[in-house]
């Protein structure tokens, strides 16, 4: 029987990063993965493949505007979706292979199969051929991630009525893609196929898309995507989704109680994700699972079984790969007797559309609800020299700061390169910077990052220089 100091169930970003950190700290470490490739949802059917398709479709879209830059492309430019999907898969394979390399490099033992508890210190690995073996481990980390959610009345056939997993490997560009859910995943994949020529309609139950982010970001993204041709049906409750042949019919009720009908050849159901604990047998380890299917943990990510921890999508909080990574490192360091800490308020959120959307800290809506006195400063990308030079003038940066202390409480941005720019805001807030601190930092000119400085100036006695 194999014996380890730490065993991680699940090899997504949380699991494999935790395994690496455990190995770095001197623990004999094992990781269990049910699929044949490592990396979990993020690397295989989530973050990485979706960004690969976003990049490919962005290149195609840019071609449409080459003439504006004095570049004339003659001849027909066509989309080869098969090659695009193949490139996406090559990126996935390379990235997953990189995780395998890291496991080998750090002497982490990999077990392929479904991991299920036999007790709080033993896990059975059931392999694809039906055989199994038992692993003994002093400590166990649950990192089993999440799966796409659906609505109870929707029958997912994974052919025409699909989840994000199937949307990453379509064999044709849809004529009309009806997306149920206006969150991050639906909007990103919607833009991929919108660029490639599909008509895209988004049906969202809430009164705006990306409802978890600052309302100003939602308003701007909606405006930009409408300009690109995407259609939105917000404040609409889906009543039914039916397929007849190659036609998918979606009926939804609007705020007035009227039923609207949308017909497409594909419908992407993107209504969130659920924690994945199927087959885990958590009860055998004395691990409590909440009514929502999440593993119950304390502030140290420790479950009701003292030697069992849980991280990532399977516990409370945002379902983000980088949040899972931070939690994986935190648990490893706790097991080593260290005292790590995560400030969940400073976990950034990103939407990888173009323009990109990114945020960290409190939204205006949250500050108002909490009765916090604040001041706001914004700066539009259209006033930014680098943005005009590149032709990416949509968007803005908004900084929210405490009205009395000037400490930055939230940063919200939409525009080119915001997925990368948000790191500056996280750094500033980690060190509890004031808006004036940011405004006094020298930012290279011309850069997109100057928008952050200008927004900070705007929040500091309305001192923005270029607007």
- Active-site annotation, residues: 445
Rounded to an integer, what distance in angstroms lies between the CA atom of residue 266 and that of residue 243?
Answer: 9
Name the strands in the sheet holding 199-204, side by side, starting at the edge strand that comes first in the sequence: 161-162, 266-269, 176-180, 199-204, 231-234
Instruction: List the beta strands (DSSP E) in 185-312.
Output: 199-204, 231-234, 237-244, 247-253, 259-264, 266-269, 273-275, 308-310
User: Across the chain, how many H-helices and E-strands are there?
Assistant: 13, 22
Contacts of 101 (CB under 8 A, 6+ apart): none
Phi, psi of 55 (to 5 degrees): -65, -45
Residues β-bridged to residue 43: none
**Residue 192, beta-bridge partner list:** none
Greatest CA separation for the chain: 68
Burial of 58 (0-12, 13-18, 19+ CB in 10 A): middle
Residue 238: strand pairing partners: 252
Taking alpha carbons only, the member of 379, 378, 377, 428 closest to residue 407 is 428
CB 22 within 8 A of CB 156: no
Give the whole-angstrom CA distance, residue 71 versus residue 221: 28
**HEC readout, 10-78:** CCCHHHHHHHHHHHHCCCCEEEEECCCCCCHHHHHHCHHHHHHHHHHHHHHHHHCCHHHHCCCCCCCCC
Q: How far apart are CA 354 and CA 280, in angstroms?
A: 39
Residue with tokens 């604040």: 374
Which residues, 6+ apart, have CB-to-CB distance to 410 below 8 Å? 214, 359, 360, 361, 362, 363, 364, 366, 367, 399, 400
Helix (H, G, I), strand (E, B) or coil at 185: helix
């Amino acid at each position: 029987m194999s014996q380890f100091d730490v065993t991680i169930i699940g090899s997504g970003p949380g699991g494999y990063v935790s395994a690496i950190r455990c190995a770095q700290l001197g623990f004999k470490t094992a990781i269990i993965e049910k699929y044949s490739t490592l990396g979990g949802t993020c690397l295989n059917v989530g973050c990485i493949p979706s960004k690969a398709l976003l990049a490919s479709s962005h290149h195609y879209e840019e071609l449409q505007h080459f003439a504006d830059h004095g570049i004339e492309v003659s001849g027909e430019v066509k989309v080869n979706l098969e090659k695009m999907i193949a490139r996406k898969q090559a990126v996935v394979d390379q990235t997953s292979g990189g995780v395998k390399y890291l496991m080998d490099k750090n002497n982490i033992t990999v077990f392929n199969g479904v991991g299920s508890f036999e007790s709080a210190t033993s896990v059975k690995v059931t392999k694809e051929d039906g055989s199994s073996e038992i692993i003994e481990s002093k400590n166990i980390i649950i990192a089993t991630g999440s799966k796409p959610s659906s609505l109870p009345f929707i029958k997912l056939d994974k052919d025409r009525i699909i989840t994000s997993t199937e949307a990453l490997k379509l064999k044709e560009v849809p004529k009309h893609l009806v997306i149920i859910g206006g969150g991050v995943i639906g909007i990103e994949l919607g833009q991929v196929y919108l660029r490639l020529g599909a008509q895209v309609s988004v049906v969202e139950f809430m009164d705006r898309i990306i409802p978890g982010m600052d309302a100003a970001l939602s308003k701007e993204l909606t405006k930009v995507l409408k300009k690109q041709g995407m259609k939105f049906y917000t404040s609409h409750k889906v009543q039914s989704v039916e397929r007849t042949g190659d036609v998918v019919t979606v009926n939804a009720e609007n705020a007035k109680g009227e039923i609207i009908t949308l017909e497409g050849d594909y419908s992407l159901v993107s209504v969130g994700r659920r924690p994945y604990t199927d087959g885990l047998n958590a009860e055998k380890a004395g691990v409590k699972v909440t009514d929502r299917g999440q593993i119950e943990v304390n502030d140290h990510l420790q479950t009701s079984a003292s030697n069992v921890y849980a991280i990532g999508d399977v516990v409370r909080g945002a379902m983000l790969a980088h949040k899972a990574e931070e939690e994986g490192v935190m648990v490893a360091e706790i097991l080593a007797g260290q005292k790590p800490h995560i400030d969940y308020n400073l976990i950034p959120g990103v939407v990888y559309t173009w323009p990109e959307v990114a945020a960290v800290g409190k939204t205006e809506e949250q500050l108002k609800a909490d009765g916090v006195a604040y001041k706001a400063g914004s700066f539009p990308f259209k006033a930014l020299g680098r943005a005009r030079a590149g032709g990416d003038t949509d968007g803005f940066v908004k900084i929210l700061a405490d009205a009395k202390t000037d400490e930055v409480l939230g940063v919200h941005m939409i525009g080119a390169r915001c997925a990368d720019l948000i790191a500056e805001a996280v750094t500033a807030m980690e060190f509890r910077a004031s808006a004036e601190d940011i405004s006094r930092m020298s930012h290279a000119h011309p850069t997109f990052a100057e928008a952050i400085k200008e927004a900070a100036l705007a929040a500091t006695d309305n001192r923005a220089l270029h607007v």
